[in-house]
Amino acid sequence: MPRGQLILIEGLDRSGKSTQAAYLNSKLPSSELIKFPDRSTPIGKIINEYLTDKSFKLCDQSAHLLFSANRWELNQQIRELLNQGKFVVLDRYIYSGIAYTLAKHDFQGQEGDEIVSSGGPRSKELGDVDWLLGPDKGLPKPDLTLFLTLDLEEISKRKGWGDERYEMQQFQAKVKECFLKILTAEQDPTIQIVDVGGKDINQVSELLWEIITSKGHDKLIDEPIHLI
Ligand code: ADP
Ligand code: TMP
Ligand code: MG
C-alpha cells in the first residue's frame, strides 16, 4: 500500500516555520502536524524545563541526547501515520538538533555562552557532526526538507521572541551559520534551501506549495520509509 510523505520545515527562529507548517498541514490531502521538541511527552517536559528555566543545569551532551530521545518517542507514531497513507509535516527535526549543538560548540567563550550552554570548555564531540547525528540514526528520513532562510536583520523586525534559552541575537547568527554549513555540505537532493526574504506569508506559502507539487511531494508514494 502506498504511503504518505514526510515533509520537514526547518529554519531559524521566527523564519516562519510554524506558520508554513500549519499551512502545509491544511493543504496536503490528509496530514498530521508534529512539532519538535514535543513538550508534552515525558522527555519533552524535561526539555521544556531546560529551555524555559535558565538556571536548570544540564550538560550539553545530555541536552543534545534528550532532543534526539524526544524524536524517538514519536518514531512509531510517525511511521504508522505514513504507512496509513497520511502525510506528516514536521516543524523542526534532526537538522535543528545538529545545528543548535554545533552552534554551542562554536559559540564557546562569547558573551551569553553560560546561558546557551552549560559553560566551560566544550568537548570536541560537540563539534563533530557525525557524533551529533549518531543518536538520530534509524529515525525516518524526511522525503523533503525545506529550510527557510532570510536575513537576521529582517527576522529581528518580526514579533519578538520570548525568553527561552537560545533566543539571543548573537547566538542565532551562529545557529544560522551552522545550519547552512551542515545543509549545504549534505549535497542531498531531498534538502532545499528556500530564501524567503522580502516575501509575505502568502507568497512564502505559494512558493513552498509550488516546490512540493512540482516534485510530486503531495502524492502518495510506493517507496519504503527512508532512514537517517
Ligand atoms: P517560527 O515558527 O519559525 O519561529 P512563526 O511562524 O511563529 O516562526 O513566525 C514568527 C512571526 O513572524 C509570527 O508573528 C508570524 O506571523 C510572522 N511571520 C511569519 N512569516 C512571515 C512573513 N513571511 N512575513 C512577515 N511576518 C511573518
Ligand atoms: P521552538 O522554539 O521551535 O519550540 O524550539 C525550541 C528550541 O529548541 C529552539 O531554540 C531550537 C531548539 N532545538 C534544539 O536545540 N535541538 C533540537 O533538536 C530541536 C528540535 C530544537
Ligand atoms: Mg515555531
User: Among 17-21, 44-48, 56-60, 92-96, which is the least confidently predicted range?
Assistant: 56-60
Q: How far is the CA of 159 from the centre of ligand 3 (A)?
A: 12
Report the residue count for the chain: 228
Task: Look up cell 527561552; give the residue.
Answer: 164
Look at residue 96 and tell me whether its pLDDT is greater than 70.
yes
- Does residue 24 line the site of ligand 1, with CB under 6 A? no
DSSP symbols for 183-218: HHHH--TTEEEEE-TT--HHHHHHHHHHHHHHTTTT
pLDDT tens for residues 61-73?
999 999 999 999 9
pLDDT > 90 fraction of the chain, expressed in percent and rounded? 83
Residue 215: exposure state from Cβ atoms within 10 A (0-12, 13-18, ≥19): middle
Find residue 191's DSSP bridge partners: 145
- Does residue 157 line the site of ligand 1, with CB under 6 A? no
Segment 118-146 mean pLDDT: 92
Look at residue 76 and tell me whether its pLDDT is greater than 80.
yes
Q: Which atom of ligand 1 is nearest to the CA of 22?
A: 6
Sequence-separated (6 or more) residues with CB below 8 Å from residue 188: none
Task: Report the mean per-residue pLDDT for the chain.
Answer: 94
Q: What is the pLDDT, as a whole number, of residue 139?
A: 98
- Does residue 92 line the site of ligand 2, with CB under 6 A? yes
pTM: 0.96
Q: What is the pLDDT, as a whole number, of residue 186?
A: 66
Q: Are 16 and 72 in contact (CB under 8 A)?
A: no
Radius of gyration of the chain measured on its C-alpha atoms: 17
Distance CA 56, CA 62 (A): 12
Residue having the nearest C-alpha atom to atom 14 of ligand 1: 159
Q: What is the pLDDT, as a whole number, of residue 157?
A: 87
pLDDT tens for residues 165-189?
998 889 999 999 999 999 986 688 9
Look at residue 161 and tell me whether its pLDDT is greater than 80.
no
- Does residue 10 line the site of ligand 1, with CB under 6 A? no
Cell of 57: 543545569
Q: Are 41 and 73 in contact (CB under 8 A)?
A: yes
For the beta carbon of residue 1, count every other beta carbon within 10 angstroms.
Answer: 7
Q: How far is the CA of 17 from the centre of ligand 1 (A)?
A: 7
Q: What is the pLDDT, as a whole number, of residue 185?
A: 62
109 Rama sector, left if φ>0, alpha if ψ -120 to 50, beta otherwise = left
